[in-house]
Every structure is written in structure tokens, then in C-alpha cells.
Amino acid sequence: MLNDSDHPRHSAPCHRRQFLTRMGALAGAAAILPGLGGCETAEMHTAPPKKGATLNFDVAVDPFKPLAAVGGFVAADIEGTAVLLVRTAAKEVLAFSRACPHAFLDMAAAPASKYDVAKGVWVCGWHISEFKADGSAVAGPASPSGKLDKFAVTFDGAKGKVTL
């Protein structure tokens, strides 16, 4: 059934010069592809973050209750901007952009994401990158140059405010 003699399985082997010529031709074709219309693009369909937009939160009220304990974290949206709130100390909540600088995935959606209280680092659960309080990556594939966008937070131990 498969011995279709009209369609020989293997083409004739080529020799070194032919091989290099073909490699060159194919590599050349691959190299000019990006030039055909400049087809690489990135566009956002959402509105840009609103500078100065704020979010008030209370750790006793849903959906911010996970922030009642050190190590807890919550995903929030501030006028379309995806933000991550992390309780890092009795009187400290940090706010970061939810997009990890490694692969720009939503860190809150990764089941293994957590605040490592002992090490004092936020862990992106997608590929286990670790971030210090200033947002800079200290371990994992996002290090050494990756940095989380950080937003200003005021917090009194119970209530707080994030400002973009």
C-alpha cells in the first residue's frame, strides 16, 4: 500500500557544496522573511494605565481578606491595570504589576506563586523566579535584569491605598 513508486520517499542525496548552497539559500530565505512587510508587531487592546488612579482596600473585607496574614496575596484591577498586592510584614503591603518580566505571564494565575516569608521574596510560580521588595529579580529565569513594575502603597496594618 505504501510502495507508491510514483512518489519516491527520498530525494537524491546531495553533496557538501550542494548542501552548503541549499543551507545558504534557505537561511537567506528565512532572513528576508521578516523584511516581507515588517510582520512583527505588538499591540494592546486594553486602555493604558491611568496615572494617579487609586484603589482602597481593607484586609477585613472581601476580596482583600487574604492580605490579613503576612504572606497572603490578592490580584486586583485598578481601572484596567492588573495589579498584585502582597502582604510582606505587619505594616507593609507591596503592589506590583501582575505581568512577570520573564515571560510576561499573569503571576496570580500560577498555582505555585507565593510570598516566601522566610526568604522575603515574591515567587512567580510559572518558572520560579524570585523578586525582592523593590521588584528586582534575584533568582530564576527572570534574573538578573528582570524587574517588576512597582506601585506606591500606604498601609496602616488594616487599611491601605494603592496609587498607579
Partner 1 sequence: MKRWVALLSLAATWLVASSAVALPRMTLTAGSRCSNCHVNPQGGGLRNDMGFYAMAQAGMATWEQVGWQKFHDLSDNQAMDGRLTYGFDYRGVVAKLGAPRWGSDGQVVEPPRIPVPMQLTPALAYKINDWLSATASVNPLWWVHSYPGQSPADGWLQIKPAIGLPSLRLGMIQPSFGIRHDDHTLLLRRNPKALGQPLLPPAYADPGAEVNWEPTHWLSLDAAAVWGHNLRLADPQAIAADKPVFSGRLTLWPQVLDWGINSWVGASALVADGSTVLGGHVGVGKNYWGTVIGEAVWSKTRGNREILSTLVQVSHAIKDWLVLEARWERSQSTQPGQSDGEATSYVAGLQWMPLPNFELRPEYRWLDTKDYLLAQYTLQFHLWL
Rg of the chain over Cα atoms, rounded to whole angstroms, equals: 25
The Cα 90–Cα 159 span in angstroms is 12
Query: Partners of 147 in the beta sheet?
Result: 136
- Of 90, 71, 83, the residue nearest 158 (C-alpha): 90
Number of amino acids touching partner 1 (CB under 8 A) = 50
10 binds partner 1 (CB under 8 A): yes
- Can residue 144 be called a binding residue for partner 1 (CB under 8 A)? no
Q: How far is the CB of 103 from ligand FES (least distance, A)?
A: 4
Cα–Cα distance measured from residue 35 to residue 12, given in angstroms and rounded to the nearest whole number: 32
Select from partner 1, ligand FES, none the partner in contact with residue 149, using the beta carbon and a kind-dependent cut-off of 5 to 8 Å.
partner 1
* Sites for partner 1 among residues 94-133 (CB under 8 A): 97, 99-100, 102-106, 109-112, 125-127
| Residue 104: burial class (beta carbons within 10 Å; 0-12, 13-18, 19+) | exposed
Q: Phi and psi of 70, rounded to 5°?
A: -60, 135
Binding site for ligand FES (CB under 6 A): 100, 102-103, 105, 124, 126-127, 129, 140-142
d(CA 7, CA 20): 26
Nearer residue to ligand FES within complex by CB, 97 or 129: 129
From partner 1, ligand FES, none, interface partner of 33 (C-beta below 5 to 8 A by class): partner 1
* Burial class of residue 45 in the structure, from the number of CB atoms within 10 Å of its CB (0-12 exposed, 13-18 middle, 19+ buried): exposed
| Residue 81 interacting with partner 1 (CB under 8 A) | yes
- Any contact of residue 40 with partner 1 (CB under 8 A)? yes
What does 109 bind: ligand FES, partner 1, none (CB cut-off 5 to 8 Å by kind)?
A: partner 1
**Binding residues for partner 1 (CB under 8 A):** 1-4, 7-11, 13-16, 18-20, 22-23, 26, 30, 33-34, 39-46, 48-49, 81, 97, 99-100, 102-106, 109-112, 125-127, 141, 149
